[in-house]
């Protein structure tokens, strides 16, 4: 199962945000890594650099590599609504993320490990796929024989945050994925509505475009290419 295994503090310092959770290195050195990380001179970032940084931030935050991220984006683009918001909703519906949000694990990495080691049930069945997509009404629970694990009891005991799209039962150590979250309820600092510059999307569509908007843009580009071909042929 592919996952990011590189340095965490270096990435957190690059974005100057605790992407992987509380980070002592980030608290001590709240500036970029490397020789020039603390330089007063900050080069102006191009639009593409800002867009790429937001995409990478989303990937690191949810523990998704490029192939999974691309597939999730395609699903989000095919669904009605705002693509950027759909993308975050699908990422929030991942099983490992739900386990983390419910407080069963202190970090998403820890949640991924619990899922892969078969400690988590979905609707009464063991699911060991971290990227498993939950649907509204799905019940996520800790396996009976795993409820006494120190890692789980410690994490559940420190659970403070509550999210409107999740319901949690402390007595049974189970929770329900009620619905896909609204963007305003997702606490992650990700600017998902920046222009998407992906090579596999010829339209250069904006993430905030709806599916109908993107179809119209593709139609305009197709007509323009046809017109140019006619002119060249003449």
Whether 4 is covered by a domain: the verdict is: yes
Half-sphere CA count of 158, side-chain side, radius 13 A: 10
Same domain? 34 vs 101 = no
**227 located within any domain:** no
Q: Mean pLDDT across the chain, nearest whole number?
A: 78
Q: Evaluate whether residue 201 is within a structural domain.
A: no
Query: Residue 54 domain-assigned?
Result: no
Tens-digit pLDDT profile for residues 207-233: 444 555 555 555 555 555 555 454 455
Question: What is the structure's pLDDT at 92?
Answer: 94
Asked if the structure places residue 14 within a domain, the reply is: yes
Q: Is pLDDT at 32 greater than 70 in this prediction?
A: no
Q: What is the mean pLDDT of residues 191-201?
A: 52
- Spatial separation of the C-alpha atoms in residues 89 and 98, rounded to whole Å: 11
What is the tally of structural domains in the chain?
Answer: 2
- 98 with 162, same domain: the answer is yes
Tell whether 35 and 100 lie within a shared domain.
no
Query: Same domain for 103 and 174?
Result: yes
Domain encompassing residue 9: 1-40
Residue 45 DSSP label? P
- Domain-located, residue 58: no
Ramachandran area for residue 181 (φ above 0: left; ψ -120 to 50: alpha; else beta): beta
pTM: 0.72
> Are 99 and 164 members of one domain?
yes
pLDDT digits (tens, 9 = 90+) for 14-31: 766 767 666 655 555 666
pLDDT tens for each residue of 183-194: 889 988 887 775
Helix, strand, coil shares, percent, the chain, to 5:
45, 10, 45
């Amino acid at each position: 199962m592919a996952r990011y295994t590189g340095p965490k503090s270096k990435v957190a310092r690059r974005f100057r945000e605790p992407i992987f959770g509380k980070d002592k290195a980030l608290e001590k050195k709240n500036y970029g890594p490397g020789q020039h990380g603390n330089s007063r001179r900050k080069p102006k970032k191009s639009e593409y650099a800002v867009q790429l940084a937001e995409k990478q931030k989303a990937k690191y935050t949810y523990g998704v590599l490029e192939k999974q991220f691309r597939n999730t984006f395609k699903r989000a683009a095919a669904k009605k609504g705002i693509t950027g918001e759909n993308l975050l909703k699908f990422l929030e519906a991942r099983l490992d993320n739900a386990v983390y949000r419910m407080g069963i694990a202190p970090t998403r990495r820890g949640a991924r490990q619990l899922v892969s080691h078969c400690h988590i049930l979905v609707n009464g069945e063991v699911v060991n796929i971290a990227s498993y997509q939950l649907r509204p009404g799905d019940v996520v629970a800790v396996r009976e024989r795993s409820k006494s694990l120190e890692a789980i009891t410690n994490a559940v005991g420190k659970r403070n945050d509550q999210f409107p799209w999740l319901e949690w039962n402390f007595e049974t150590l189970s929770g329900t994925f009620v619905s896909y979250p609204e963007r305003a309820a997702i606490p992650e600092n990700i600017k998902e509505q920046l222009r998407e510059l992906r090579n596999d999307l010829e339209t250069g569509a904006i993430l905030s475009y709806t599916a109908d908007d993107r179809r119209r843009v593709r139609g305009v580009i197709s007509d323009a290419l046809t017109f140019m071909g006619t002119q060249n042929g003449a």
